[in-house]
Chain A
Amino acid sequence: MKFLVCIAPVPDTTAKIAFTDGDTKFNTAGVTMIINPYDEWYALVRALELKEAGIASAVHLVTVGAADAEPVIRKALALGGDEAFRIDTDSNDPYYVAVEIAHFAKDGGYDLVLTGKESIDYNNGVVGGAIAELLNANYVGFATKLDISGTTATVNREIEGGEETNTSPLPLVVSCQKGMAEARIPNMRGIMAARTKPLKVVPPTQATPLTQIVRYELPPAKTGVKMFTEEQVADLVQALHTEAKVI
């Protein structure tokens, strides 16, 4: 059984959010790129666990990104995974990213495609579901648990106010979040092995992005916090009513 894990390179969670070119581009100066945490901690680690359990024979990684994404892909390979593919194009349109990945995966014979819940930069949560549609496969979003037995997957997914257990035939696309697995730290052996693992560059399709970010804006800064003492809780309640108008 072959698995494909989608790895998005994203700015480090503590990166300063600033823009250039008249607020039309994210300022990458001094920003470290990391593996999208949902992809790393949950999708990739669960795929590796299922390989270690003898369920998957190969775990492939795919990234849609320019050459500067390669250190991030190498880091993913250091955690595990057999081969990586970089589709050589860059866009933050989730539809376009999904078209590229689906086109790549179509003839790859993947039984399971794993993505993260959402990318922490653009927060779409779109790529997984769109890949499923393009591959005519089932999709389980926001999954917290995944097991495979024979050709059936058992997946827990988040629902409003709780969780639900689903079973689905393969092939299947799953977007992964907390609960799925415990984060791992790459070890020296993994890092060494990753240097020689294949990282293939795949040309993009002729598709074009359907959306484009035309302007960024930072939210207005808070005007300053109004402090109360422990003895003034009644005044705080009054302020929430008359000033903030929230109660």
Chain B
Amino acid sequence: MSVIVFAEQSEGSFKKKALEAVQYAANIAERLGSSATAVVLGSIAGAAMQELGKYGASKVLHVADGRLDNFSSRAAAKALIAAANKESAKVIVLSHDVVGRAVAPRVSAALSAGLVAGAVALPEVGNGFVVRKNVFAGKAFADVSVNSEVKVITLMPNTFAVVAKDGTATVEALEVVFTDEDFSITVTATNKVSGTVPLSEAELVVSGGRGLKGPENWGILEDLAGALGASLACSRPVADSHWRPHHEHVGQTGGTIRPNLYIAVGISGAIQHLAGVNGSKTIVVINKDPEAPFFKAADYGIVGDALTIIPKLTAAVKAFKAS
């Protein structure tokens, strides 16, 4: 009856969103009077897996097959299904990220298990099983009732703060029989921007729009982001004009993010842009046009020229951090 959670590891450790998924699964297990079992794939040290106990996992099932170090949605789904069968799991949790979103549909289809993609709350389990998610690009919530016996949930990253407690998880090996077919996708090249926090995980984001006039002005945004420890994002025309790389583009056709702080600089606030960012907890808008639609979605605003405001703001952030 336990809750299974896919704890994605990368290079032997767990990112915040993996820990968040584990904690979420443990909270669901608590509501169901059961326990949470994490599934970990590929090469990783036992001690790192035991740490998942701090986030509420009582057990870790480790599928050690080295081939799993390269992502395969087929193999990952197979491993999760094997774990779910072993534990008679009723709920399977994954992160709503590029990995979880590739694996969860396969698990749902294979087990005829209803799937709620992008949950933003714990399930209500008193009467049925109802999970809240964003719909219409964050313009509304939908409460989704899952009617199948097994339920699959992908959790929107940055929904809950992650708090470490005392506890260690026991680690057990899980043998899964894979076929060559499960690994028939070959990775031939990887192009990764290293060193920065992935945008979907960032708690603080500084974002620029066409109001910055050109890529030559991005230095001031980089300075502000640097002072805050924030990641950079941009509006779509900025990426389309190749001022910034495409993976920084947020909005309906770009990434969806929900940081604690989103600072929008020289962005008008078109509905398609808001779609990707209106889950942010606090929004600051800096725009020279007092009528810019973004101010309606903002918590704080400054009207004026970004090129002069941003350096002042950066200085104020530095002064604050120094004090």
| A interface list, Cβ under 8 A from B | 11, 13-14, 17, 19, 37-38, 93-95, 98-99, 102, 120-134, 138-142, 144, 154, 157-169, 177-179, 209-219, 222, 225-230, 232-234, 236-241, 244, 246-247
| The one of A121, A123, A160 that contacts B198, using a Cβ cutoff of 8 Å | A160
A78, B260: Cα distance in complex, Å: 44
Does B298 touch A at the CB level, under 8 Å?
Answer: yes
Residues of A close to B319: CB separation below 8 A: 234, 237
Q: Find B145's partner among A11, A124, A212 (CB 8 Å cutoff).
A: A212
Residues of B within 8 Å of A, CB-based: how many? 95
Q: Does B34 contact A (CB under 8 A)?
A: no
B192 touches A225 (CB 8 A): no
Q: How far is the CB of B294 from chain A (nearest CB, A)?
A: 9
* B189 touches which of A102, A164, A179 (Cβ 8 Å): A164
B214-251 vs A, CB cutoff 8 Å, 1 = contact: the mask equals 00000000000000100000000000000000110100
A102 to B110, CA, bound (A): 13
Could you tell me the distance in whole angstroms from the C-beta of B262 to the nearest C-beta in chain A? 10
Give the residues from 284 to 323 in chain B that come closer than 8 angstroms, CB to CB, to chain A: 284-285, 295-304, 308-309, 312-313, 315-317, 319-320
Question: Pick the contact of B106 from A13, A132, A169 — CB < 8 Å?
Answer: A132
With a CB–CB cut-off of 8 A, which chain B residues contact A127? 105
- The number of residue pairs between A and B whose CB atoms lie closer than 8 Å in the complex comes to 274
Besides the known contacts A162-B193, A211-B116, A214-B143, 6 further A-B residue pairs in the complex with CB atoms under 8 A apart: A140-B185, A214-B145, A216-B143, A217-B142, A226-B299, A230-B304
Which DSSP category, helix, strand, loop or mixed, fits chain B's interface? mixed
Report chain A residues within 8 Å CB of B69. Answer: none
B117: Cβ under 8 A from any A Cβ: yes
Smallest Cβ-Cβ distance to B133: which chain A residue: A123
Task: Give the CA-CA distance A247 to B272 in the complex, in Å.
Answer: 27
Known: A165-B187, A247-B204. A133 touches B109 (CB 8 A): yes
Across-interface contacts of B112 in A (CB, < 8 A): 95, 210
User: Do residues A234 and B320 form an inter-chain contact, with CB atoms below 8 A?
Assistant: yes
Chain A hits for B184, CB < 8 A: 138, 168-169
Chain B, 117-174, CB within 8 A of any chain A CB = 117-118, 130, 133-148
Name A128's closest neighbour in chain B (CB-CB): B105
Cα–Cα, bound, A123→B253 (Å)? 11
* Chain A residues with CB under 8 A of B74: 138-139
Taking the complex as formed, is B271 at the interface, i.e. its CB lies under 8 A from any CB of chain A?
A: yes
The answer to whether B301 and A214 touch across the interface, beta carbons within 8 angstroms, is no
